[in-house]
Amino acid sequence: MTTATRSDRAGLYYPKLPATWWLRHPRYFAFMMRELSVVFIAIFLVVFLVEIRQLARGAQTYVAFVEMLASPGWIVFHVVALAFALYHSVTWLKLTGVVQVVRLGERQVPSKLVAAGAFVVWGVVSLVILVFFLLGA
């Protein structure tokens, strides 16, 4: 197995893009924001895992951790993480119509209908979870 060095590929064009290339077009910006959203979601999940660990260590440790999370900085972080999670979810569900081909017999279900179905399922599941927590079950 041989690997080509850059000099072997000297005839190829490598465009030099500025660091702000993604600010040129709204679609590029939206793509980069979707990619950035993963960082916030990952940090949220790590904090959540630490919270579970603190709960396992005892009530005092858990209460101290929750009090730390009540600080304004952590509240802002959680609001931003929620916004990014919603944005990530919406953009993903909008893609389901393109990615998931659904056929009924010989006919293909329109992509917008598939995406709408994904949003309906998301809404129903969210509503069931909300009712579950409001009823304290």
- ∠ CA 28-29-31, nearest 5°, is 65
Domains and CATH numbers, the chain: 23-134 (1.20.1300.10)
For residues 81 and 87, what is the distance between their CA atoms, to the nearest angstrom?
A: 10
Q: Which residues pair with 97 in a beta bridge?
A: none
Distance CA 111, CA 98 (A): 6
For helices 26-57 and 59-69, give the axis angle rounded to 10 degrees: 150
Per-residue pLDDT tens listing for the chain (137 residues)? 556 565 666 678 888 889 898 899 999 999 999 999 999 999 999 999 999 999 999 999 999 999 999 999 999 999 999 999 999 999 999 988 888 888 988 999 999 999 999 999 999 999 999 999 999 86
Query: Which pTM was predicted?
Result: 0.76
- Counting DSSP H helices and E strands in the chain, the numbers are 4, 2
pLDDT at residue 97 in the model: 85
Whether 36 contacts 74, CB under 8 Å:
no
